[in-house]
Amino acid sequence: MTSPPPPTALPIRGVQPSFDDLGTPLHSITFCVVDLETTGGAPGESGITEIGAVKVRAGEVIGEFQTLVNPGEPIPAFIAVLTGITNPMVASSPRIDSVLPAFLEFARGCVLVAHNAPFDVGFLKHDSLVHGYDWPDFTVVDTALLARRVITPDEAPNCKLGTLAKLFRTTTTPNHRALSDARATVDVLHGLFERVGSLGVQTLEDLQTFNSRVAPAVRAKRHLAESLPHAPGVYLFTDDRGEVLYVGKSKDLRNRVRSYFTASETRNRIGEMVGIATSVRGIECGTSLEAEVRELRLIAEHKPRYNRRSKFPERQHWLKVTVEPFPRLSLVKQVRDDDGGYLGPFSSRKTAERAMAALHEAFPIRQCTARMSRTPRLSPCVLAEMGRCVAPCDGRISADSYGEFVNNLRSALTADPTPVINALDRRIDVLSADERFEDAAVHRDRLSAFVRSSARMQRMASVTSCAEICAARRTDDGGWELHVIRRGRLAAAGISPRGTDPRRYLDMLRASAETVLPGIGPVATASPEEIDLVLRWLDQPGIRLVEMDGTWTCPITGAGRHLTRIDNANADLHHPPERRRLRPLGPARAS
């Protein structure tokens, strides 16, 4: 039996990162500081009367833009008094549809800066949309928001532009005229840069995520992300003893890990974890499914103290048909390789007990916990007197006759839940007719617990009984995302790049895939969570089942072919995997 080598964690290498790796330095960015004067406060209801903008780079002004704008409506008197812009001043000025192209060209390639940016940018975006201009995807910096994060009430009573201009002693006094206010905002921006620079903010990415609430010790750990690639995969936070504290996954390892050292991370437990962590390891994965599965397996292996979900798969609750002369239902926390029938897993013991009660309603098997020999001689309990148990304890029913009830029970667990559903439906109808609605609700909850678990079991069985499934999906760049799934376990994953033969790549992937031997029980080869991940991926649009148990089902290349997936509603669990039906989802996207 061969298996692929274990994943190798990405080492921290002693190389000097490039500027692209570290982020975009603030001194290399061209900022366009803009300010507007308007007739009111709401885009669409008011118009722009003046635009002023200053283009600055590395502390030097490299251009200015200023124009009055005819708003197409009278300027309210109080606005005219506030700004000094009157109706005669804008009567001969151009309309906004003529001004916008010039401004957008002036600001092209810049980072937009404004004081109370949602107001100014909101007007510009609205008018661009109305007049049919494409609004560029500007990065926006709001000096008012940034000031609120670094200026204390002792320094300034508020963060208005006039107040900040006095604090930073700007060379231009803001006076509610667009260009003057933009010039003052430039000085305020540089003053704020000096403040945040001493706190370790040196790049645009740092500025966008800066918050004074982030402790300096946490912010100082951003270098832990620098060795990680911009690639999908799994990351592991570890402490100084090498203990794994937290495991997560991401489509971009570096960006995701960097976010843990910014204000965007607000979870108290994770903040505590980041304070303890001394290193971050990364494992690159070829596909998103591989990353999800690896995360699940690593959490189960290391049981990190700061992960909440999937840490203890062995603590899940299952219902089991015991292996003894007179079997019964038993609540267990572990699936074993035996011939007992299983149902689960359940999210809680209470849910499992509800499903057990539903099964006891349909099948009169014994509920006592004592072990019985093949020839028992015991006194029947009250359940036998009520007709809810066939009472094998008194020796009147043979093990073979009792076995028929058990066989029907196992069938309900794995293949046909109809007897349980019918029995509970009849009971609910009787209770409802007698207006015993609370008792009917109890039986309804029991039925719901059983049906949900039974449906999940049959979904898992549709995959775990297949020795091998090879599935593919187109990538955005024209390649193929390939997976080899053996008995519900992800055995191999990879990407066939555009221009290569995906069939040949799949053959190599199968040859190097993990060997998964058949086992006994519903989850002998993979955890229920992993099987659920595989099923969800197979159910996504665009998935092609290329091979199943050695039988070719669908080509990888070519247009107009049908996509296929496993359909539980159509799959006959009594038939071997090669005879199961597949439901077409529709024509494939052209190559």
Residue 239 exposure: Cα atoms within 13 Å on the Cβ side: 11
Is 443 annotated in the active site? Answer: no
H or E stretch covering 374: none
Instruction: Find the catalytic residue in 126, 176, 302, 562.
Output: 176
Tokens standing for 162?
A: 């006039």
Of 55, 183, 187, 35, the closest CA to residue 120 belongs to: 35
- Which residue is listed with tokens 């760049």? 477
Measured between alpha carbons, how far is residue 105 from residues 90, 102, 340, 393, 516 in Å?
Answer: 23, 5, 73, 90, 61
Tokens standing for 578?
A: 């090669």
Distance CA 530, CA 168 (A): 57
Tokens standing for 173?
A: 């006094």
Q: H helices within 159-252, ranges in order?
A: 161-168, 178-197, 204-209, 216-219
Q: Are 307 and 247 in contact (CB under 8 A)?
A: yes
Cα Rg of the chain (Å, integer): 34
Beta bridge partners of 46: 43
Residue 241 is given by DSSP the state: T
Of 162, 76, 45, 149, the closest CA to residue 115 belongs to: 162
Dihedral angle over CA of 286, 288, 289, 290, nearest 10: 40
Distance CA 420, CA 440 (A): 15
Of 266, 376, 300, the closest CA to residue 384 belongs to: 376
Q: How far is CA 231 from the centre of its chain?
A: 16
Burial 193-214 (b: 16+ CB within 10 A, else e): bebbeebebbbbbbbbbbebeb
Distance CA 227, CA 21 (A): 9
Helices 437-464 and 528-538 cross at an angle (nearest 10°) of 80
Residue 415 is given by DSSP the state: T
Beta strands in 9-106 (DSSP E): 30-38, 48-57, 60-68
- Residues carrying an active site annotation: 176
